[in-house]
Amino acid sequence: MTWSSVSFSLLDTFWLFLALCFLVAFCVHKASAQLPGLYRKSSLFTLFQDLIRYGKTKQKLNRAEWLRVFDVPKRWFWHFYAISVFWNVFLLLLSINFIYQLQSYPSWLTGMLKILTGVPSFDGQAPQLSTVLVQLLLCVHSLRRLLECLFVSVFSDGVMHLVQYLFGLGYYIVLGLTVLCSDQMAKGPGTLLSQLDWIHVGGFVLFIAASLLQHQSTVLLARLRKGKSG
C-alpha cells in the first residue's frame, strides 16, 4: 500500500484533526511547564490554560475578568448525555425501522452520511449487527451517565470553558453519525442473527463489566464529596 492509495473521508479527516489537536495541546502543556515565570504570567499562556482546564484545576489559575465571561457550570455535564440519549435513540430507531419496516433513512440524514463518508449511495443497505449493537450500547451508556449526573454525582461550583461545553454537546452527535458511517466500511450480508459472532458477545460482556466498574467508581467518588469538606 502506498500513500497515494490512501484516501481520507471528511469523517476520517475530522477525527484525525481532533486527535492531533489533543496531541498538540498535550505537548504544549508539557512544554509550558518548563517556561520561566515571566512567560507563565503572559495573557497567551493564561488563555491556553483557561481553554484546557476545568473544575478544580481552574481555581489556582490567575485569570482576567473577561475570561470568566466564558465560564459554564461544570454541573452542566448532564446536558451532554441528555443530547446523546435523544439523538442516539433517534438514530437507533431509524436503524430498526430500516431493518424491520424497510424504510430508508430520511433524505437529510442520507445526504449527511454521503458527505461524511464520500460514499455515493446508502440506498438498500440495511445496518449491520455491529452497527446496531454499538448504537444500543451507546444509548445505554449515555442513559446511565445521565442518571448518574442527575442522581449520583455531587458537583462542586467548578466551571468549564464555553468551548469545552460546545465540544461536549457536539461530540455525541458526531459519534452517533460515525457509528452509522461504519456500515460503509464492511457489509454484513444476511439477517442480524446470522451475523452474530463471538466478538459481539465478547464485546457486550466487556462493555457490561466496564460499565459496572465505572458506575461503582462514580458512586465511591460521590460519597467522598458528601462529607463536611464538600
- pLDDT tens digit string along 76-87? 999 999 999 999
At residue 8, does pLDDT exceed 90?
no
User: In which band, very low, low, confident or very high, does the pLDDT at 224 lie, cut at 50, 70 and 90?
Assistant: confident
What's the pLDDT at 230?
52
Question: 14 to each of 19, 190, 222, 224, how far by Cα in Å?
Answer: 9, 32, 35, 38
Higher pLDDT, 16 or 226: 16
The pLDDT confidence band at residue 2, using thresholds 50, 70 and 90, is: very low
Residue holding cell 452527535? 173
pLDDT tens-place string over residues 110-155: 899 889 988 776 555 667 888 899 999 999 999 999 999 999 988 8
- Residue 45 is placed in which grid cell? 499562556
What rounded mean pLDDT belongs to the chain? 86
Quote the CA–CA distance of 200 and 131 in Å, as a whole number: 11
**In contact, 142 and 81? CB cutoff 8 Å:** yes
Comparison of pLDDT for 155 and 2, the residue scoring more: 155
For 171-207, the pLDDT digits (tens) are 999 999 999 888 765 555 566 777 788 888 999 999 9
CA 67 to chain CA centroid, nearest Å: 26
